[in-house]
Structure 1
Amino acid sequence: MKQAVIRFENFTFKYHSQTEPTLKDINLSIYEGEKVLIVGPSGSGKSTLAHCINGLVPFSYKGDIEGSLTIRGKESKKMDIFSISKIVGTVLQDPDGQFIGLTVGEDIAFALENDVVPQDSMLDQVADVSKLVDMTGHINASIHTLSGGQKQRVSLAGVMVDNVDVLLFDEPLANLDPATGQHAISLIDNIQIETNTTVIIIEHRLEDVLHRDVDRIIVVDDGRIVSDTIPDELLGTTVLEESSIREPLYVKALKYAGCNVNSEMQPAHLDTLKLDDCKDKLLQWYKSAPSMNEKAKAAPILELMDVSFGYQWGKQTIQNVSFSIEKGEMVSIVGKNGAGKSTLSKLICGFEKVQSGSILFHGQDITKDTIFERSERIGMVMQNPNQMISKHMIFDEVATGLQMRGVSENEVRERVEAVLRVCGLYPFRNWPISALSFGQKKRVTIASILVLDPEIIILDEPTAGQDFRHYTEIMEFLMELNQKGVTIIMITHDMHLMLEYTPRAIAIADGTVISDDSAVEVLANETVIHQANLKKTSLFDLAIKAGIPDPKEFVSRFITFDKEVRKTWQ
């Protein structure tokens, strides 16, 4: 019989800074060799649950504990954080916050150096774990030259080299492109199978994690475990929807069509899904669902003409890029990590200077305009919120831009409070930013730009780290702005966000535009998908499996229908 590695018994935890417990009466056991997925909306307590498992609670985050948490049979509050780290290895959401060494090899070896492992043995162990995470050819590479996916693999190797019993992943897909994310899930699965390590994954992107099998999905909401069951069972219930967690898109389509999704259908994977009793209902729903309306054309507001740029002499990151964005458009820029998407946004905002080519705004050349001059018209929300935040308090951070522009105190308060409500931050307006999660910090930076009412907003991964309800609230707010004439450009790895909110998508690979088409067409083009590290939507594959005559139109009709349904959430 398998032993429980982690066991919560009637466990309650309350932070010292809060009046109510964050975790309430948790009873949960995680066993040797299991792979468990923990999901839940923002603020549900899932991150606190993870902090309890890896020892950050109560040793770094102080609070009151009731009940019991044992790790390998020992009461965790009687252990020290170092001892826990030898059992539970944590791979952070942002790998940059985890690196110690300058090179891949140095970083992987850090824990071994602390344990005074002899150098010969250390080299062998580093080589072994590097092979396991597919980084053998990068041992001497600088950490800063790696892609997002490679950085994550180095972080994984750095905790695996300690031979931990449990690997805890905190949103491993948040900053990865779709194909790299799929590879990351495959890598985690392969390592779990080869080493029989217990794996715990905390992630919003449920469908992407289900690319490979998981033993159980634990749903946390309002500090309690509301479901603990196998994927096939969970997907046949309404628990995910009630907890503001996005169901796999093909499962949602089946439910919209009136199909009775149950465990016998094996819905956890599209490959195993049994559709015999649902094909007629899907076809009938497809015929009755409304088509997507096309938006009327408008004059261009932003034009890039043969723009090129390189961080290093003789090596171009952006090569002869040309495209135009119409006033009032909502456009996605997609592509793999390192393709040049973020660099492109920096060039548009003036953070980097174009080396050749030109940028026009309303037909006027702004190539030589300063950052401040461009900021009057173009707002930028960066991918990493920590690179934007300069104040200690939430209200002050969102108000800064308005105050610098000389807006009156009363108007500042009105505008800041309005945008904080939209971004789900109003209850925390007087909180210190240091008390927020990564996803909440992201919302603060979005709010700080939205409050300035720019003509163009560029958002780098606007929904990373957001639960489905907050994702919808932010995107619907951006839609409202867009309908009022604000032009929105989104750099994203979320293929459904691209399909749902941006009729047009620009795909970038190796610093060049490889496709500029409708979002549906981009994700139906196998060549573009491969070159840009994208992923075909499961809706497309469901349509093919169900025999729908036009899979692209099926995807479009699902998006239109789904948006109308979710408007009732507002």
Structure 2
Amino acid sequence: MDTNKKPIIQFNSFQFHYFSQAEPTLHDINLTICEGEKVLIVGPSGSGKSTLGNCLNGLIPFAYKGEIEGSLKINGRETREMNIFELSKMVGTVLQDADGQFIGLTVGEDIAFALENDCVDQGKMKEAVQKVADMVDMGNLLKSSPFELSGGQKQRVSFAGVMVDDVDILLFDEPLANLDPATGKTAIDLIDHVWKELGKTVVIIEHRLEDVLYRDVDRIVVVNDGRIAADMSPDELIAADILPGMGIREPLYATALKYAGVRVTPEMRPGRMETLRIDLVKEAVQKWALSRVPDREVNNRPDILAAEHLSFQYTKKRRILKDINFHIREGEMVSIVGTNGAGKSTLAKVICGFVTEDEGRLLYEGEDLKGKTIKERSRMIGFVMQNPNQMICKPMIYDEVALGLRIRGVDEAETEKRVEKALKICGLAPFKKWPISALSFGQKKRVTIASALVLDPKILILDEPTAGQDFHHYTEIMEFLKSLNSEGVTIIMITHDMHLMLEYTPHAIVISDGQKIGDATSAEILTNETITEQANLKITSLYELAVACGVENPEGFVQNFIDYERGLRHA
């Protein structure tokens, strides 16, 4: 913290207790953020980091009721003595779910909303809206509907909507949650640009630490169990080695350094890949690379799913899938990756029979799926959507998991046996008689997986299985899917998560603009600059570290890291 700058946010012995909860969520928070600082707040799910953000923007106590102790001052004023309107003039919030933030029917109307509330003259309003829209590269889309935009564009509109009011503090709540890797980089660039150009105070709440550290931040505040566990510069925090113990994923290059036997210190500037002192780590990284023998498993099983010249279009003018060919073997774990709108989810819909291909064919164990109904396919192929709330239709867990069997007329004794087995596999056996409403998001996700597994499918397709999950919950879900895979279920995941792709899926299929542009190991894909650029992916920092250190085979280095880590996890 720069002692010469004026404090703009001051928590002093601050505590907050939701009326609906038995224990306080925030305890004894002492934190000062100064004008013009850029601060990242990280922490596992349930740590209190989002509650901290809600205290800043006034949702606490105005929307979420509870008891406040201690002091929170913004610009020298106690927040509890202000109303939400006054706070909104100081703190602008960009939410994780951009759709939930839209009010206007067009981009221009949405950006102008705050100015219309203030009865700003129309001429000045148009000028201000155009100015901020241009700043976020949305100046040509002012007449478009927000709901027609891509995820990254939606976020830019939300961004412009808070900037137009000229607030002092910009708060970003999980800005990367729904974005593909390259769009996420653009979002971090945009935040960085506004921070530097306009001198705003920026607070980012996010668990994708490495992705935020693509650009500089002044400090990282770690929240754990409702308390501040650390408040350090990025260099100090990465060197301190406290993140893994709290269930927070440290940058991959930092983990690789530790595997190579490097004692990471702040002097190495390890907070960002761009600042890392390569001269201090080069020798150790090269030595470790040479000491590793690749551990390659070859899957020689027959194909379980294959696409031959598959094409699909919703309308004659717009072809979504174009001549897709792939082969997936029994027992594989496969990632389907690519930019938002590339056709990944449409491919899953074609496989499940929700829509029918226009050309080509799909083969399941060598048999053409043409003519197979959704009901027939669901015995072979289970599908789990990103948001479990869109799949669940029964109030009780048991009834939800039993639904597919009951629809098929399976007798109750057999249904009970199969439901109990699926619940046990998914770690939900103790909650058999619980209502769905009592479950966490992650537990609801498991219910939807159990509902698919109860039909005993050989393939499970999951759309963004780890979206919005911290590293602890992410690992929990992925290890669970790995255990299913070891039981013989072929797992196909549509994902934006490059960590997931590298760690858990040896095989990756890349879709860009409806075409397959890559089909190889995950390490090969994420070390191929042409494919990553074309598909809005991101070259892994492991590759960047290997290249910077002069490792002869950077792709092999990435694969060795994955194999080594997998070995540690299952040791």
Same fold (TM over 0.5): yes
Aligned residue type for 1:105: G
Aligned residue type for 1:242: G
Matched, 1:51 2:54: yes
Cα distance change on mapping 1:219 and 1:121 into 2, 3 Å: same
Deviation per CA, 1:380-416, whole angstroms, max 9, x where unpaired? 2223344324355667655655665655575477446
Structure 2 match to 1:117: 120
Structure 1 match to 2:228: 225
Structure 1 match to 2:328: 325
Aligned residue type for 2:457: P
Residue 290 of structure 1 contacts residue 561 of structure 1 at CA under 8 Å; is this kept in 2?
A: no
Matched, 1:34 2:37: yes
Structure 2 match to 1:421: 427
Structure 2 match to 1:91: 94
Q: CA deviation at 1:79?
A: 2.4
Q: TM-score, normalised by structure 1?
A: 0.93
Structure 2 match to 1:244: 247
Cα distance change on mapping 1:272 and 1:427 into 2, 3 Å: farther
Q: CA–CA distance in 1 between the matches of 2:237 and 2:212? A: 14
Deviation per CA, 1:164-198, whole angstroms, max 9, x where unpaired? 22111111111111111111100110011111111
Q: CA–CA distance in 2 between the matches of 1:90 and 1:549? A: 46
From 504, 507, 523, the counterpart of 1:501 = 504
Please report the RMSD computed on the Cα atoms of aligned residues, expressed in angstroms: 2.4
Q: CA–CA distance in 2 between the matches of 1:78 and 1:429? A: 45
Structure 2 match to 1:6: 9
Query: Which secondary structure does the structure 1 equivalent of 2:315 belong to?
Result: coil
Q: CA deviation at 1:447?
A: 5.2
Deviation per CA, 1:15-37, whole angstroms, max 9, x where unpaired? 22221111111111222111111
Q: CA deviation at 1:231?
A: 0.3
Q: TM-score, normalised by structure 2?
A: 0.93
Q: CA–CA distance in 2 between the matches of 1:478 and 1:328? A: 12
Q: Greater CA deviation, 379-388 or 242-251?
A: 379-388
Q: CA deviation at 1:128?
A: 0.6
From 288, 291, 295, the counterpart of 1:292 = 295
What pairs up with 1:161-172 in 2 under 5 angstroms?
161-172=164-175
Structure 2 match to 1:342: 345
From 146, 152, 171, the counterpart of 2:155 = 152
Q: CA deviation at 1:376?
A: 2.0
Structure 2 match to 1:482: 485
Residue 420 of structure 1 contacts residue 426 of structure 1 at CA under 8 Å; is this kept in 2?
A: no
Q: CA deviation at 1:124?
A: 0.8
Deviation per CA, 1:256-280, whole angstroms, max 9, x where unpaired? 1111111100011222211333333
Aligned residue type for 2:569: R
Deviation per CA, 1:514-533, whole angstroms, max 9, x where unpaired? 11112122122222112111
Q: Greater CA deviation, 364-373 or 471-480?
A: 364-373
Deviation per CA, 1:359-380, whole angstroms, max 9, x where unpaired? 2222222233222222222122
What's the % identity of the aligned pairs? 58
Q: CA deviation at 1:441?
A: 5.5
Matched, 1:78 2:81: yes
Matched, 1:22 2:28: no
Q: CA–CA distance in 1 between the matches of 2:463 and 2:517? A: 20
Q: Greater CA deviation, 83-92 or 71-80?
A: 71-80
Query: Which secondary structure does the structure 1 equivalent of 2:207 belong to?
Result: coil
Structure 2 match to 1:103: 106
Aligned residue type for 2:335: S
Gaps of at least 5 residues in structure 2 are: none
Q: CA deviation at 1:341?
A: 0.8
Query: Which secondary structure does the structure 1 equivalent of 2:307 belong to?
Result: strand
Q: Greater CA deviation, 182-191 or 386-395?
A: 386-395
Q: CA–CA distance in 1 between the matches of 2:539 and 2:179? A: 16
Structure 1 match to 2:305: 302
Aligned residue type for 2:488: G
Residue 403 of structure 1 contacts residue 412 of structure 1 at CA under 8 Å; is this kept in 2?
A: no
Matched, 1:215 2:218: yes
From 373, 381, 384, the counterpart of 1:381 = 384
Q: CA–CA distance in 1 between the matches of 2:206 and 2:52? A: 13
Residue 525 of structure 2 contacts residue 532 of structure 2 at CA under 8 Å; is this kept in 1?
A: yes
Q: Greater CA deviation, 143-152 or 259-268?
A: 143-152
Q: CA–CA distance in 1 between the matches of 2:359 and 2:21? A: 54
Q: Greater CA deviation, 171-180 or 2-11?
A: 2-11
Q: CA deviation at 1:77?
A: 2.4
Residue 268 of structure 2 contacts residue 280 of structure 2 at CA under 8 Å; is this kept in 1?
A: no
Q: Greater CA deviation, 384-393 or 155-164?
A: 384-393
Q: CA deviation at 1:154?
A: 0.8
Query: Which secondary structure does the structure 2 equivalent of 1:316 belong to?
Result: strand
Q: CA deviation at 1:562?
A: 1.2
Q: CA deviation at 1:323?
A: 1.4
Q: CA–CA distance in 2 between the matches of 1:416 and 1:74? A: 54
Structure 2 match to 1:137: 140
Matched, 1:459 2:465: no
What pairs up with 1:348-427 in 2 under 5 angstroms?
348-391=351-394, 400-401=403-404, 404=407, 406=410, 408=413, 411=417, 414-415=420-421, 417-419=423-425, 421=427
Residue 69 of structure 1 contacts residue 76 of structure 1 at CA under 8 Å; is this kept in 2?
A: yes
Q: CA–CA distance in 1 between the matches of 2:396 and 2:485? A: 29
